[in-house]
C-alpha cells in the first residue's frame, strides 16, 4: 500500500555546501492526513518541500541521498512536471509564483500546459473558483490582488489539476489574521470533505494546531513527530530551542494545571467550565491617566488618495508622544504602510497635515525628516547594496553625518549580535539577521523616532524574541518606537503604550493595549485579539484583571488570592 | 518636492490595465498589425506635414481612451529624459562626424523625434492591454513553439514589476538619507547603485521563484499546449483595422500619387 509521502533516510547537501541541509530524515505520511511541519528558519523546512515537489535535486543540484516516494512514485526517476497532478505545491511568497497577468489565465495555466480540452478546463476552473470563492476575481489583474486573494489564486491554480496531496510552505507568513483563518478553514475543508492530504510547513502555530492531528518538528533532522499534544508535552521549550511558536492556549493550559495542552480558545474554555475562577484584589498595572509631555508626531485630518483613486487613508487624527511605544495594527490594505510613509514625507497628504517634531512634512524633504525619524520597511532586501554587513551600517552612519562613524558602527553591530557577520554579504545571512541589520542601519544614527514596518514578517519565534529584546532596550532609552504589525501574538508580548487600530484607511480604535483589546476593538476585527484576551473574556475573568500574556497573568496572580477549584 | 522619478512613471504607465477598454477587446493580432502599420508609415512619411498628421492621429487614438490617456502622459514623463539624451547625443554625433550643418542636424533629429512619438501610442496600447499569454497564443498559432517564446514574454511581464520594485527600494533608501538629486555626476552614479543593486537582487529572487512556479504548473512538460480562450477576430477587430488603414495607408498612398503627378 503506497503512502502519500514517504521519505526514507534522506540527507541533502546544497551545491558547494559541506553542511547538510537535511540529515537522515524519515517521514511517512498517509493519504488523508493533515500534518504540520514546524521548525526554526534554516531548519530545512523549505528544502523538504522542494524535495517532495521534485525541484530538488532536479533544479537545484546538490547531493541527495535516500529515497523519496510521492503518491507511490520514486521522484528521482521522473520529471518534476509529471508530478503536478499528484502533488500540488505552493511555495513561499505566493506573489512571486504568479505567472500570468490575469487571474483567469493563472487558473487555466497548468491545465493548458497539460493539454486539457476547453470544456474540461471550463468545468474545473468553475468548480475550483467557486469553492475558493474567487470567481469574482476572474478578470482582475493578478498584481492588484490583496495578500489573501493572491494566496487563494495560487492555491486555485494548483488545485485545478486535482492533486490528492497538497504541500504549502509557510502559507500564513504574510497573511493577516482574518485571511489566515479563512485559508486554514479552507484547507481543513479540503482535508475533511475531499480527503486531500495536507502538509503545511509553518512556525506560527497559534491558529493552525487545532486543525492538525499531527505535528513534526524539523531542525535538519526530525526532532519530534506525533500528536501535537504529545509533542508539546515532550518539548516544553520548543519555542526557545526550535523557534516554534507555542500557542498561548497551550501556555495557559500549563499554567492552569490542565493535564493536556489545549490547542484552541474554545477547547480551553470547555476545559475550565467546571472550575470556579476567581481572583481577589488583582492589581492591574496600567494607569488610565496617560501623560503626554511632548507630541512628537501630530496627524491632523489626514487623507491620502492614490493616483488610481483609491482612498488609502481617511480622516486620520493621531498624536504620538515622545518616548511612547506605539503599535499600528490592521489587516493587509488597511493603510498601515501608507500612514508611516507620511511620517518621513515619502508621501505627502492629499488633504490634512502631518507634523513631525513640529515640522510640517510638506515643507521639509525626506532627507531632512529622516534625520529625526528612521524607518525600516517590510522587505529588508530593499535596503542592502553594500558588500558587507559592516559597510552597510557604516554607509548610513556616514550619510547621516554621524561623528566617529566607524566606532559607532562597530558598537551597533555588536549590540545587535551581528559582529560575527560583519564581513559577510548582507544577502547571505538569514532572514532574522537581515531584519536586525536593517534595524541596525537605522539605530546607528540615533534618530528620535524609530519606525518598523511589519518587523516580524517571515522570521521564526526565536528571532522574534531577540527583536523584542532589542526594541524594549531602545524604548527604555527614551526613544519613540512605532511598529506596524498584524502579528498579534507577538504584540501581546511587547510592552506597547498605545495601540492604533486601522481598518480600511480609518482609525477605528486608539488606546492602551488593554483597553483596545478588551473593549475598543470592533466586533468584525475579532481575529485581531490575542488568544489570552479571548479566553479571559470568555470565562469572565476580565472583571478581575485584564492581561495580555501569560507572564503578566502569573505576576498578577502572585500578589492576589485566587482559586480555580473544580465545582461539581 | 513631490516630484516622481522616471521609474515611478514607467511603473504605472507600462502596467497591464485590467479596466475594460476598447483596446483590451481587440485581438492581439489586430494590435500587432496596428503597430506594424504605424511603424511603416512613420518611416515612409518624408515631410513634416505628413509626420505631424500621423502624430496627431495616433496620439488622438490613444487619448480617446480615458484609461490610457493618463498612462500615455505618464509614459512621456517617464521617457522624456531618455529621449532628450538620445536626441542631443544624435545631434552631436551627426554634427561632429557627418558633414552637415547644425540646422539640418536639428531638422533631421526633430523628424526622428516625431517618429518616436508616432510609434509610442500603438506600443503603449499593445503593452498595457495585451497579456503575455495572449502573445504566446498568437505566435504559437503562427507555428512557433510556445516555450521558446516564454523567456521574452516573461521579461516583458517583468518590466513594470521591476520598476515597481525600484520604487519601493527608492523609498527605503530615501528613508535612510540617500538623496539622488544631490552631488556631482560621479556621486549621483554611486548613489544610484543604492537603488539599482537591491532591485537587481530582488528581481533575481523573483526570477528564481517564477522558474519554480513554472515547473510546478507543468510548463514545457508537453510539446504543445491548449489555450482556453479562443483567438478569434471579431467585428470590432475588423472595424478597428479598417479605420487604421483608412487614416494611415490611404493618406500615405494618396500623398505618394500626388507627389508623382507633380
Written as one string, the DSSP assignment of A21-75 is SEEEEEEEE-TT-EEEEE--TTSSHHHHHHHHTT-TTTTT-SEEEEEEEETTEEG
Taking the Cβ of residue A434 and every Cβ of chain B, the question of whether any pair is shorter than 8 Å is answered with no
**Touching B: A residues 335-364, CB under 8 Å:** 341, 344, 346, 348, 362
CB pairs under 8 A between A and B: 182
C-alpha cell at A439: 534595524
CA A358 and chain centroid, separation: 34
Distance between CA A561 and CA A405 in Å, rounded? 55
**Chain A residues touching residue B218 (CB < 8 angstroms):** 81-82, 84, 110, 113-114, 161
Taking the Cβ of residue A87 and every Cβ of chain B, the question of whether any pair is shorter than 8 Å is answered with no
State the maximum Cα–Cα separation within chain A, in Å, rounded to a whole number. Answer: 72
Distances A85 to A53, A81, A154, A315, B211 between C-alpha atoms, Å:
11, 9, 15, 50, 18
Q: Which residues pair with A29 in a beta bridge?
A: A5
**Chain A residues touching residue B219 (CB < 8 angstroms):** 81, 99, 109, 113
Distances B86 to B83, B91, B159 between C-alpha atoms, Å:
5, 9, 21
Radius of gyration of chain A, Cα coordinates, nearest whole angstrom: 25
**Touching B: A residues 367-396, CB under 8 Å:** 367, 370-371, 374-377, 379, 381-385, 396
Chain B residue with minimal CA distance to A112? B226
Check residue A568 and give its pLDDT.
47
Closest-CA distance of chain B to residue A320, Å: 19
Taking the Cβ of residue B193 and every Cβ of chain A, the question of whether any pair is shorter than 8 Å is answered with yes
CA A30 and chain centroid, separation: 29
Distance between CA B4 and CA B77 in Å, rounded? 9
Chain A residue with minimal CA distance to B180? A367
pTM higher than 0.95: no
What string of H, E and C letters represents the secondary structure of chain B? CCCCCHHHHHHHHCCCCCCCCCHHHCCHHHHHHHHHHHHHHHHHCCCHHHHHHHHHHHHHHHHCCHHHHHHHHHHHHHHHHHHHHHHHHHHHHHHHHCCCCHHHHHHHHHHHHHHHHHHHHHHHHHHHHCCHHHHHHHHHHCCCCHHHHHHHHHHHHHHHHHHHHHHHHHHHHHHCCCCCCCCCHHHHHHHHHHHHHHHHHHHHHHHHHHHHHHHHCCCCCCCCCCCCCCCCCCHHHHHHHHHHHHHHHHHHHHHHHHHHHC
Distance between CA A217 and CA B54 in Å, rounded? 68
Distance between CA B147 and CA B138 in Å, rounded? 13
Q: Which of A97, A105, A375 sits opposite B131 (nearest CB)?
A: A105
- Phi and psi at A375, nearest 5°, equal -115, 130
Query: pLDDT below 50 — which residues of chain B?
Result: 1-2
Q: Are A184 and A169 in contact (CB under 8 A)?
A: no
Task: Classify residue A538 as exposed, middle or buried by CB count within 10 Å of its CB (0-12, 13-18, 19+).
Answer: middle
**Chain A residues touching residue B140 (CB < 8 angstroms):** none
Distance between CA A87 and CA A167 in Å, rounded? 7
Distances A410 to A27, A405, B55, B173 between C-alpha atoms, Å:
45, 9, 60, 21
Q: Are A150 and A332 in contact (CB under 8 A)?
A: no
Taking the Cβ of residue B2 and every Cβ of chain A, the question of whether any pair is shorter than 8 Å is answered with yes
Whose cell is 507555428? That residue is B143
Whether the complex's predicted ipTM is more than 0.85 is answered with: yes
Q: Are strands A351-356 and A295-305 parallel, antiparallel or unpaired?
A: antiparallel
Contacts of B95 (CB under 8 A, 6+ apart): B102, B105
Taking the Cβ of residue B232 and every Cβ of chain A, the question of whether any pair is shorter than 8 Å is answered with no
Taking the Cβ of residue B221 and every Cβ of chain A, the question of whether any pair is shorter than 8 Å is answered with yes
- Phi and psi at A132, nearest 5°, equal -85, -5
Best interface-test mutation with A: which of B205, B207, B216 has the largest number of A CBs within 10 A? B216
Taking the Cβ of residue B209 and every Cβ of chain A, the question of whether any pair is shorter than 8 Å is answered with yes
CB contact under 8 A, B18 and A91: no
Taking the Cβ of residue A46 and every Cβ of chain B, the question of whether any pair is shorter than 8 Å is answered with no
CB contact under 8 A, A116 and B226: yes
Closest-CA distance of chain A to residue B168, Å: 7
Distances A156 to A64, A80, A138, A149, A226 between C-alpha atoms, Å:
31, 19, 11, 10, 30
Report pLDDT digits (tens) over A97-107. 998 888 999 99
Contacts of A175 (CB under 8 A, 6+ apart): A147, A148, A151, A183, A332
Contacts of A164 (CB under 8 A, 6+ apart): A4, A31, A71, A86, A87, A195, A196, A197
Contacts of A26 (CB under 8 A, 6+ apart): A7, A8, A9, A10, A222
Q: Are strands A5-13 and A87-90 parallel, antiparallel or unpaired?
A: unpaired
C-alpha cell at B207: 526570477
**Chain A residues touching residue B172 (CB < 8 angstroms):** 375, 377, 379, 382-383
Taking the Cβ of residue A115 and every Cβ of chain B, the question of whether any pair is shorter than 8 Å is answered with yes
C-alpha cell at B30: 489586430
Report pLDDT digits (tens) over A311-333. 999 999 999 999 999 999 999 88
- How many CB atoms are located within 10 Å of the residue A224 CB? 19
**Chain B residues touching residue A80 (CB < 8 angstroms):** 215-216
Distance between CA A459 and CA A73 in Å, rounded? 34
CA angle, A161 then A166 then A168, to 5°: 120
DSSP assignment of A498-520 equals EEEEEETTEEEEEE-HHHIIIII
C-alpha cell at B241: 483595422
C-alpha cell at A86: 499528484
The helix (H) or strand (E) run that includes residue A555 is helix A550-558
pLDDT string in tens for chain A (568-residue length): 689 999 999 999 999 889 999 999 999 999 999 999 999 888 899 999 999 999 998 889 999 999 999 999 999 889 999 999 999 999 988 888 998 888 999 999 999 999 999 999 999 999 999 999 999 999 888 888 888 899 999 999 999 999 999 999 999 988 899 999 999 999 999 999 999 999 999 988 988 999 999 999 999 999 999 999 999 988 888 888 888 889 999 998 888 888 889 999 999 998 888 777 777 766 665 555 567 889 999 999 999 998 778 899 999 999 999 999 999 999 988 999 999 999 999 999 999 999 999 999 999 999 999 999 999 998 999 999 999 999 999 999 999 999 999 999 999 999 888 999 999 999 888 888 899 999 999 999 999 999 999 999 888 898 899 899 999 999 999 899 999 999 999 999 999 999 999 999 999 999 999 999 999 999 889 899 999 999 999 888 888 788 898 888 888 777 666 666 655 4
Task: Classify residue A259 as exposed, middle or buried by CB count within 10 Å of its CB (0-12, 13-18, 19+).
Answer: exposed
C-alpha cell at A292: 503626554
Distance between CA B56 and CA A532 in Å, rounded? 67
Best interface-test mutation with A: which of B175, B190, B211, B229 has the largest number of A CBs within 10 A? B175
> What stretches of A278-417 show up as alpha helix (H) in DSSP?
336-343, 366-370, 389-399, 405-415
Check residue B1 and give its pLDDT.
35
CB contact under 8 A, A366 and B173: no
CA angle, B193 then B198 then B203, to 5°: 125
Picking from B163, B137, B56, B206, the residue whose alpha carbon sits closest to that of residue A381 is B206
Taking the Cβ of residue A400 and every Cβ of chain B, the question of whether any pair is shorter than 8 Å is answered with yes
Taking the Cβ of residue A150 and every Cβ of chain B, the question of whether any pair is shorter than 8 Å is answered with no
Q: Are A450 and A302 in contact (CB under 8 A)?
A: no
Check residue B2 and give its pLDDT.
43
Whose cell is 492589581? That residue is A283
State the DSSP code for A285. -
Q: Are strands A34-38 and A63-70 parallel, antiparallel or unpaired?
A: unpaired
CB contact under 8 A, A113 and B222: yes
Size (chain A), residues: 568
Distances A93 to A268, B67, B174, B209 between C-alpha atoms, Å:
33, 31, 25, 8
What three-state secondary structure class fits A258? coil
C-alpha cell at A372: 529625526
Closest-CA distance of chain A to residue B240, Å: 23
CB contact under 8 A, B176 and A441: yes
**Chain A residues touching residue B171 (CB < 8 angstroms):** 341, 346, 377, 382
Amino acid at each position: 500500500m503506497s503512502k502519500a509521502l514517504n521519505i526514507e533516510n534522506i540527507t541533502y547537501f546544497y551545491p558547494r555546501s559541506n553542511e547538510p541541509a537535511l540529515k537522515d530524515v524519515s517521514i511517512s505520511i498517509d493519504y488523508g492526513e493533515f500534518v504540520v511541519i514546524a521548525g526554526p528558519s534554516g531548519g530545512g523546512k523549505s528544502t523538504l518541500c522542494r524535495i517532495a515537489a521534485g525541484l530538488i535535486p532536479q533544479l537545484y543540484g546538490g547531493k541527495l541521498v535516500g529515497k523519496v516516494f510521492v503518491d507511490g512514485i520514486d521522484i528521482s526517476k521522473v520529471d518534476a512536471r509529471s508530478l503536478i497532478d499528484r502533488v500540488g505545491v505552493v511555495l513561499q511568497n505566493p506573489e512571486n509564483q504568479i505567472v500570468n497577468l490575469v487571474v483567469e489565465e493563472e487558473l487555466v495555466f497548468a491545465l493548458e500546459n497539460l493539454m486539457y480540452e476547453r470544456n474540461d478546463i471550463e468545468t474545473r476552473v468553475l468548480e475550483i473558483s467557486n469553492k475558493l470563492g474567487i470567481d469574482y476575481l476572474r478578470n482582475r489583474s493578478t498584481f492588484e490582488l490583496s495578500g489573501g486573494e493572491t494566496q487563494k489564486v495560487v492555491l486555485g491554480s494548483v488545485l485545478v489539476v486535482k492533486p490528492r496531496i497538497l504541500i504549502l510552505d509557510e502559507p500564513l507568513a504574510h497573511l493577516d489574521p482574518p485571511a489566515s483563518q479563512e485559508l486554514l478553514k479552507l484547507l481543513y475543508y479540503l482535508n475533511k470533505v475531499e480527503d486531500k492530504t495536507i502538509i503545511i510547513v509553518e512556525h506560527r502555530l497559534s491558529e493552525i494546531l487545532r486543525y492538525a492531528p499531527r505535528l513534526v518538528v524539523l531542525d535538519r533532522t526530525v526532532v519530534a513527530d506525533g500528536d501535537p499534544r504529545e509533542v508539546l508535552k515532550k518539548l516544553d521549550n520548543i519555542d526557545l530551542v526550535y523557534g516554534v511558536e507555542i500557542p498561548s492556549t497551550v501556555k495557559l493550559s500549563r499554567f492552569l494545571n490542565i493535564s493536556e495542552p489545549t490547542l484552541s480558545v474554545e477547547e480551553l474554555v470547555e476545559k475550565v467550565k467546571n472550575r470556579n475562577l476567581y481572583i481577589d484584589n488583582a492589581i492591574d498595572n496600567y494607569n488610565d491617566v496617560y501623560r503626554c509631555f511632548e507630541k512628537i508626531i501630530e496627524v491632523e485630518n489626514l487623507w491620502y488618495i492614490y493616483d488610481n483613486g483609491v482612498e488609502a487613508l481617511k480622516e486620520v487624527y493621531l498624536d504620538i508622544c515622545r518616548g511612547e511605544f506605539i503599535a499600528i495594527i490592521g489587516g493587509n490594505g488597511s493603510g498601515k504602510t501608507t500612514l508611516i510613509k507620511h511620517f518621513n514625507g515619502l508621501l505627502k497628504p492629499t488633504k490634512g497635515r502631518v507634523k513631525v517634531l513640529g515640522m510640517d512634512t510638506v515643507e521639509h524633504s525626506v532627507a531632512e525628516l529622516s534625520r529625526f525619524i528612521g524607518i525600516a520597511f517590510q522587505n529588508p532586501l530593499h535596503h542592502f547594496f553594500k558588500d558587507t554587513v559592516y559597510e552597510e551600517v557604516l554607509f548610513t552612519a556616514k550619510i547621516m553625518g554621524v561623528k566617529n562613524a566607524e566606532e559607532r558602527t562597530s558598537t551597533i553591530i555588536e549590540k545587535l549580535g551581528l559582529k560575527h557577520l560583519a564581513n559577510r554579504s548582507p544577502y547571505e545571512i538569514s532572514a532574522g539577521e537581515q531584519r536586525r541589520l536593517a534595524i541596525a542601519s537605522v539605530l546607528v544614527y540615533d534618530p528620535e523616532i524609530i519606525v518598523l514596518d511589519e518587523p516580524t514578517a517571515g522570521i521564526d519565534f526565536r528571532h522574534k524574541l531577540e527583536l523584542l529584546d532589542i526594541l524594549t532596550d531602545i524604548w527604555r532609552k527614551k526613544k519613540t518606537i512605532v511598529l506596524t504589525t498584524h502579528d498579534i501574538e507577538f504584540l501581546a508580548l511587547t510592552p506597547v503604550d498605545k495601540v492604533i487600530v486601522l481598518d480600511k484607511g480609518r482609525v477605528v480604535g486608539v488606546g492602551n493595549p488593554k483597553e483596545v483589546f478588551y473593549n475598543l476593538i470592533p466586533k468584525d476585527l475579532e481575529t485581531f485579539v490575542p488568544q489570552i484576551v479571548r479566553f479571559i473574556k470568555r470565562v469572565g475573568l476580565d472583571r478581575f484583571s485584564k492581561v495580555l500574556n501569560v507572564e503578566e497573568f502569573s505576576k498578577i496572580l502572585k500578589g492576589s488570592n485566587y482559586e480555580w477549584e473544580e465545582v461539581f | 518636492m513631490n516630484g516622481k522619478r522616471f521609474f515611478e512613471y514607467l511603473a504605472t504607465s507600462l502596467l497591464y490595465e485590467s479596466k475594460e477598454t476598447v483596446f483590451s477587446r481587440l485581438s492581439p493580432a489586430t494590435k500587432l498589425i496596428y503597430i506594424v502599420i504605424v511603424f511603416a508609415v512613420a518611416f515612409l512619411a518624408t515631410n513634416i506635414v505628413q509626420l505631424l498628421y500621423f502624430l496627431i492621429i495616433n496620439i488622438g487614438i490613444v487619448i480617446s481612451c480615458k484609461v490610457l490617456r493618463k498612462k500615455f502622459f505618464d509614459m512621456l514623463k517617464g521617457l522624456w529624459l531618455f529621449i532628450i539624451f538620445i536626441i542631443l547625443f544624435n545631434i552631436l554625433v551627426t554634427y561632429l562626424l557627418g558633414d552637415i550643418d547644425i540646422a539640418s542636424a536639428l531638422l533631421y533629429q526633430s523628424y526622428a523625434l516625431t517618429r518616436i512619438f508616432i510609434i509610442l501610442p500603438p506600443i503603449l496600447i499593445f503593452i498595457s492591454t495585451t497579456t503575455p499569454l495572449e502573445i504566446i497564443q498568437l505566435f504559437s498559432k503562427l507555428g512557433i513553439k510556445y516555450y521558446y517564446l516564454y523567456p521574452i514574454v516573461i521579461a516583458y511581464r517583468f518590466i513594470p514589476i521591476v520598476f515597481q520594485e525600484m520604487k519601493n527600494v527608492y523609498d527605503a533608501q530615501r528613508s535612510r538619507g540617500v538623496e539622488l538629486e544631490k552631488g556631482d555626476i560621479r556621486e549621483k552614479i554611486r548613489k544610484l547603485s543604492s537603488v539599482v543593486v537591491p532591485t537587481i537582487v530582488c528581481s533575481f529572487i523573483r526570477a528564481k521563484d517564477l522558474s519554480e512556479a513554472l515547473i510546478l504548473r507543468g510548463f514545457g512538460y508537453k510539446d504543445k499546449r491548449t489555450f482556453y480562450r479562443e483567438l478569434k477576430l471579431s467585428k470590432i477587430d475588423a472595424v478597428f483595422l479598417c479605420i487604421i488603414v483608412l487614416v494611415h495607408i490611404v493618406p500615405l498612398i494618396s500623398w505618394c500619387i500626388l507627389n508623382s503627378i507633380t
